[in-house]
Amino acid sequence: MQTEVLPVSEASLARAAERIRNGEIVGFPTETVYGLGANALCAQAVLRIFEAKGRPADNPLIVHVSSVEEIPPLVRGIPQAARKLMEAFWPGPMTLILPKADCIPNAVSAGLDTVGIRLPSCEAARALIRAAGCPIAAPSANRSGRPSPTTAQHVLEDMDGRIPLILDGGPCQVGLESSVIDATGEVPVILRPGGITPEMVQAVLGGVRVDEHVMSPLHEGEVARSPGMKYKHYAPKAHTVIYAGESGRVVSAICARYDEAVRAGERVAILGFDEHDFGGRTCISLGSEAHPEQAAARLFAALRELDERGETLALCEAVDTAGIGLAVMNRMGRAAAFDIVRV
């Protein structure tokens, strides 16, 4: 199969929508990461997503809509807390877990009786959903286990020959997958952190819990409330280690480990902030320490760059976990299998 990459335009959106109506899958931009979309109401189309990604069948997909009015037929009721979050943060990088209606195929929910719904802010994504005339089920458009794609080029790297069409809408604004929030219980629970932060949810609902597995690995036999959390994700080929602590000590510890590893014949790169001086050692920038949204937008591209350069060891500066920093540390933590050195 030949994979076409087309810039977002009225004509390319119409072409992509037609593909989706025909039961095919397409790559498309959102404000979080690029998605791999199919008609969410067609089980056969949805199965093609799992096939193209090599995604385990027990990892559910998020259903994307272009307006709140499209949601009632997809769910069995919307709790009050969920309504408040929708009003506050949609359109935007937040997925709400809701009880699913029968029209959502089991392939989408991976057999769960709930479904994740999201109303994206990206204009191109909403235009595609409108033009297709159906909700679009879409996970991130990477091959399973690879970092999520934040450019059309990343999608092409992973999906060339596997899908017919990628819409190119430029780099993603947020750069990390959506916050997944279960608002069906008494206290909302953040199952996966993202651009909508615990602080923001707390301000709207007056209470919030963050799932304990956001900053720790899942142990044998434990059940993940957010199935994606149990898979090794975002992992570059390089062995990845995070350094946390006072920044002067972090920089010294990273430089010392770097030099030792280079002497041992490793290919090493640092993922670090612009404010810090690593003395000319190879460093991929996470942007400014004062603006963690830059680290969010750059992290996945940085992890892909490690692979391209053939690095065998990556030494990463930890990010403060306030605000979107929690989402950055969750993804970086999983890339490093939570190997965090505290100095």
Question: Can you give the binding site for ligand AMP, defined by CB under 6 A?
Answer: 59-60, 62, 97, 109, 112, 114-116, 139-140, 177, 180, 191-192, 226-229
CA distance 61 to 59: 7
Smallest distance, ligand AMP to C-beta of residue 75, A: 11
- Judged by CB, which is closer to Mg ion: 105, or 139? 139
Q: Measure the CA dihedral 48/52/56/62, to 10°.
A: -70
- Judged by CB, which is closer to Mg ion: 194, or 198? 194
256: which 2 tokens?
């010392």
Q: Which residue number has the CB closest to ligand AMP?
A: 228
Coil/strand/helix, residue 290: coil
* Residue pair 326/193 in contact by the 8 Å Cβ criterion: yes
- Judged by CB, which is closer to ligand AMP: 16, or 115? 115
In angstroms, the Cα distances linking 278 to 110, 272, 313, 335 are: 45, 8, 16, 22
Positive/negative CA dihedral, 336, 256, 297, 215 = positive
Coil/strand/helix, residue 327: helix
- Judged by CB, which is closer to Mg ion: 81, or 141? 141
Smallest distance, Mg ion to C-beta of residue 330, A: 13
Per-residue interface string for the shown chain with Mg ion, residues 111-150, x marking contact by CB under 5 A: ----------------------------xx----------
Binding site partner of 79, from Mg ion, ligand AMP, none, Cβ cut-off 5-8 A by kind: none
Amino acid at the residue 329: M
Q: Around Cβ 30, how many Cβ atoms within 10 Å?
A: 28
Binding site partner of 158, from Mg ion, ligand AMP, none, Cβ cut-off 5-8 A by kind: none
Amino acid at the residue 140: S
Smallest distance, ligand AMP to C-beta of residue 12, A: 23
- Judged by CB, which is closer to ligand AMP: 97, or 183? 97
Binding residues for Mg ion, per CB under 5 A?
139-140
